[in-house]
Structure 1
Amino acid sequence: MPRTRRWGLVAFVLGILATIQTLIVNTMGFIDADTGSAFGCGHQWLTCNGQWIPTAWALTTLIEFSHRVGVPILTMLLLAVALLAGIRYRKWIEIPILAAISLFFVLLEAFLGAMAVVFEEPPAVIATHFGVSLLAFSSVLLLTVNIWRAERVRQASYEEQAALPLRSELPQRGFRLLVWLVLPYIYLEMYLGAFISSTNTGVDFRGIPIPTERINAPHFAFFLDWMHRSSALILVLWILAIFAQALNMRRQRLDLFRGSVIALVFVGLQALSGFYLVASHVTLLAFLSHVTVVTGLFGILCFLAFQTLPSVKRELTDQLTPPGSARDKRSRT
């Protein structure tokens, strides 16, 4: 393999590792919140119960400390990806921007987590923390996907002496509106779900598929349950509409069609995991299943929206090694 291609493989593998690590950090955070382990290290940050590495290990301490250790690992991975991708793919402006956005949301997520530990922030702020964690995952996922796409077109770009776009022609305006408007909608829907979780109201939910709890159920469970399930049903219908439009464009934009199929699968799994959550009265496994599916759904919807953006086409300098050049031949020896 040419040396220049090896660096592309390194960037892509680092991106995959960063994406997996983001999911691990988020999952540990969900376990942290659901098991009440957020104060397993006390009200302290960066130390844990007054020590850098605790010597007394309760289960809550193990969960919270594992969550904290994952954040610097993720940050170092992202810094490596951002540095390498920023140098190798700087002609595709999307990639340096995505690298910066990924770092911003990961650091913001860590900051909000620290503030929640130190100040015992209310459920509304904890729900915001959950939303930021999904933005962090989606931005890292988009960064990795676009590194892969940029590597595929990198050498081919020399034939036109311009950085070929990472995306095809723009889809219909109606489709663009559908995928971009669904993002704030699902974000608010997830915020409502996170608020329900942080206030422990979900344990009072009853009935599948229609809520059956009493109207005077504690913590406004009746109203929150109806609101959450109704908005989830609207989301299912919305994604069906996205799929229908993408189906008509599958010859021109196969990427959008495939993405809409994945979104349709995820929204179906979201509904099933939501019913499982109610039936189990919010067990840890049901909770993790639900939030993991929601994370995947939000990530694929962000991908669909990103794929509708116009591509930037720039002239190349000596950033890339032209195939067959003397420098390219040296790299093969």
Structure 2
Amino acid sequence: MNKGLKFFGIITSIGMLLVLLQGAVVTKTDSGDGCGETWPLCFGELVPSSPAIATLIEYSHRLVSGLVGLLVVILAIWSVKKLSHIRETKFWALMAVLFIIFQGLMGAAAVIFGHSNLVLALHFGISAISFATVVILTTLAFEDGKQRPAPRVKRGFRGYLFFVLAYTYAVIYSGAYVKHTGSTYACDQFPGCSGEFFGFQAGVQMTHRIAAILLIVFLFILLIQSLRYRKESRMLAGSGITVFLLVLIQATAGVLIVFFPDAYIATALTHSLVVSILFTVLCYMGMIVTRNRAY
């Protein structure tokens, strides 16, 4: 059922993943000004005539983002047409379109007008949400015609899950803020900070580290609570296990960034990729626990 939609959803999800990783590369290689202050043209040209490495990185990101943005809109419309009988479809389709547009506008505004680090850090957070919306729309296509997971959970569990979801987004934002303030190597040790905790950049770095450690604790608690519903829903319990394993990988990548600066791009991209997948799984968990009334 809906084979074409499933395939298209997978392609679009892969495209969104590529956009997310390209955006991370742009940020982590400081290539945001690779096309100057012109958008959508690059230094006033449709195709840059003498591109430097930074220009190639930024220009390819713009091209792929534009193409994938079109795919997202098509996926949203197609999903509403084929999956309108599924309650969540219209919501996630609307979110997919709104956030892909918002993501593009923020990227364009950053190029043309420039922004504070607070606003620039939000761009990655928006990208994470966009990625989640596309993956969940694709998941709905695969659920169609099957018994959809709908665990009946306690109100306390549901409330805690949404708290963790919101907190995870805050941690994603703080991590992006670390990069945009140039605080990545403000602390060249772990877990300490060379006795310079009270400097601005060191403070930003240590705040993110503390927030990330708390996230591990919160997700461990979520894991324990999810396992209590393993008879009710293997999907919910499995998702709880998944997000905890992902946060451990995420934390490991973060530590490796500190100790292996020569491998920064690889570890930093892993760091960005894993947290985006983690956030997506949490969004999916949030969706399935709202399918039945909490008790």
TM-score (norm 2): 0.94
CA drift of 1:146 comes to 1.2
CA drift of 1:217 comes to 6.7
**What CA distance in whole angstroms lies between the structure 2 residues aligned with 1:94 and 1:14?**
19
**What CA distance in whole angstroms lies between the structure 2 residues aligned with 1:14 and 1:207?**
45
Match of 1:35 in 2: 29
Match of 2:171 in 1: 189
Higher-Rg member (1/2): 1
The question of whether the paired residues in 2 share the 8 Å contact of 1:116 and 1:126 is answered with yes
**Counterparts of residues 1-333 of structure 1 (less than 5 Å):** 5=1, 8-152=2-146, 166-208=148-190, 210-215=191-196, 218-221=199-202, 223-281=203-261, 283-310=264-291
1:172 counterpart letter in structure 2: K
Instruction: Label 1:216 to 1:183 Cα distance change in 2 as closer, same or farther (>3 A).
Output: closer
Query: Structure 1 segments of 4 or more deviating over 3 A?
Result: 216-220
Give structure 2 stretches of 5+ with no counterpart: none
Once the two structures are aligned, what percentage of the paired residues are identical? 26
CA drift of 1:272 comes to 0.4
Q: CA RMSD in A?
A: 1.7
**What CA distance in whole angstroms lies between the structure 1 residues aligned with 2:22 and 2:90?**
28
Match of 1:325 in 2: none
1:182 counterpart letter in structure 2: V
**What CA distance in whole angstroms lies between the structure 1 residues aligned with 2:176 and 2:102?**
18
Structure 2 counterpart SS, 1:64: helix
Question: Deviations for 1:104-146, whole angstroms, at most 9, x for unmatched residues?
Answer: 1111011000011111211111101111111111111111111
Structure 1 counterpart SS, 2:249: helix
Give structure 1 stretches of 5+ with no counterpart: 154-165, 313-333
The question of whether the paired residues in 1 share the 8 Å contact of 2:149 and 2:233 is answered with no
Structure 2 counterpart SS, 1:170: coil
Question: Deviations for 1:267-323, whole angstroms, at most 9, x for unmatched residues?
Answer: 1101101101111248222211111111111111111111111269xxxxxxxxxxx
Question: Deviations for 1:198-245, whole angstroms, at most 9, x for unmatched residues?
Answer: 11111121223x213222675341x22332222211111111111111
**What CA distance in whole angstroms lies between the structure 1 residues aligned with 2:20 and 2:98?**
15
Paired residues, number: 292
1:261 counterpart letter in structure 2: I
